[in-house]
């Protein structure tokens, strides 16, 4: 009897551990290749699970960005970990946006779906299969760099953010997301509260760093690269 109880407990603990490793933290603690493999094998389900609401995306994501981009003729945007092309798609759907977008992701399958979705926009968007750090671009290139719902899965959020700041042109805007809520704290050793996250961005040389509540699990965090802050 005791043996069966012991086996049941062991199975439950192993099940919970696997759930945490593969579902909650999406392979983070098993290494980058596992994270990317999990996205590759689930890519076809991604948009169906997320069910992005076009009105909410327009109001809470795209509008704050086009306001910042308005003074720039033909802005160049980099979306790091673009996935199935969420940000490029909604930004290109916005009639007042007249720029170009580069979408980067490590998962070939996620990018393939992004490519299908973004085909109507032709040369206004290009997709690159690459990891987030190092970024394969020269310094001071992009008017806007975004990274949505992805930083917590990178081997080092600091290294990736440093790269995003490097490729941002002086005066350009960074928009990234901070994981929050109970699941945010499940990223043991990786969780940062608002103050810690903002301090990280300020320490990387950004100014006007501020946090806006956004979705249940994520805040939006904005920062600006100072003019004269080129690396």
Ligand X SMILES: C[S@@+](CC[C@H](N)C(=O)[O-])C[C@H]1O[C@@H](n2cnc3c(N)ncnc32)[C@H](O)[C@@H]1O
Residue ranges in contact with ligand X by CB under 6 A: 32, 35-36, 39, 81-83, 86, 105-107, 110, 131-132, 148-150, 153-154
CB of 89 to ligand X, least distance (A): 10
* Residue 105 or 219 having the CB closest to ligand X: 105
Residue nearest to ligand X (CB): 83
User: Do the strands 142-147 and 168-179 form a parallel or antiparallel pair, or are they unpaired?
Assistant: parallel
Q: Name residue, tokens 């810690």.
A: 196
Neighbours of 54 (CB within 10 A): 11
Residue 192 CA, chain-centre distance (Å), reads 16
* Residue 64 or 171 having the CB closest to ligand X: 64
The pair of structure tokens assigned to 211 is 């946090």
* Residue 175 or 201 having the CB closest to ligand X: 175
HSE (CB half, 13 Å, CA atoms) of 208? 12
The pair of structure tokens assigned to 227 is 């003019």
First to last CA, the chain: 67
* Residue 22 or 171 having the CB closest to ligand X: 22
Q: Name residue, tokens 């904005």.
A: 222
CB of 178 to ligand X, least distance (A): 13
* Residue 107 or 224 having the CB closest to ligand X: 107
* Residue 32 or 68 having the CB closest to ligand X: 32
Task: Please return the burial class of 80, using the count of CB atoms within 10 Å of its CB with bins 0-12, 13-18 and 19+.
Answer: buried
CB of 83 to ligand X, least distance (A): 3
Closest listed residue to residue 156, CA positions, set 21, 23, 35:
35
CB of 221 to ligand X, least distance (A): 14
Contact (Cβ atoms closer than 8 angstroms) between residue 36 and residue 106: yes
CB of 113 to ligand X, least distance (A): 10
CB of 6 to ligand X, least distance (A): 38
């Amino acid at each position: 009897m005791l043996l069966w109880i012991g086996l049941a407990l062991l199975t439950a603990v192993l099940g919970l551990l696997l759930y945490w490793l593969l579902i909650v933290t999406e392979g983070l603690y098993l290494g980058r290749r596992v994270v990317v493999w999990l996205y590759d094998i689930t890519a076809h389900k991604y948009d169906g699970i997320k069910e992005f609401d076009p009105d909410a995306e327009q109001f809470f994501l795209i509008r704050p960005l086009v306001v910042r981009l308005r003074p720039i003729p033909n802005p160049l945007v980099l979306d790091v970990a673009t996935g199935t092309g969420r940000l490029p798609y909604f930004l290109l759907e916005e009639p007042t946006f007249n720029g170009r977008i580069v979408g980067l992701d490590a998962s070939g399958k996620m990018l393939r779906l992004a490519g299908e979705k973004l085909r109507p926009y032709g040369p206004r968007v290009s997709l690159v299969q690459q990891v987030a750090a190092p970024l394969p671009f020269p310094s001071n290139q992009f008017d806007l760099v975004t990274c949505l719902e992805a930083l917590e899965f990178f081997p080092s959020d600091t290294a990736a953010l440093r790269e995003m700041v490097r490729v941002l042109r002086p005066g350009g805007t960074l928009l990234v997301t901070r994981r929050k809520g109970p699941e945010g704290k499940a990223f043991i050793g990786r969780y940062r509260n608002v103050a810690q996250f903002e301090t990280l961005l300020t320490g990387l040389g950004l100014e006007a760093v501020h946090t806006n509540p956004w979705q249940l699990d994520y805040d939006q965090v904005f920062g600006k690269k100072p003019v004269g802050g080129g690396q």
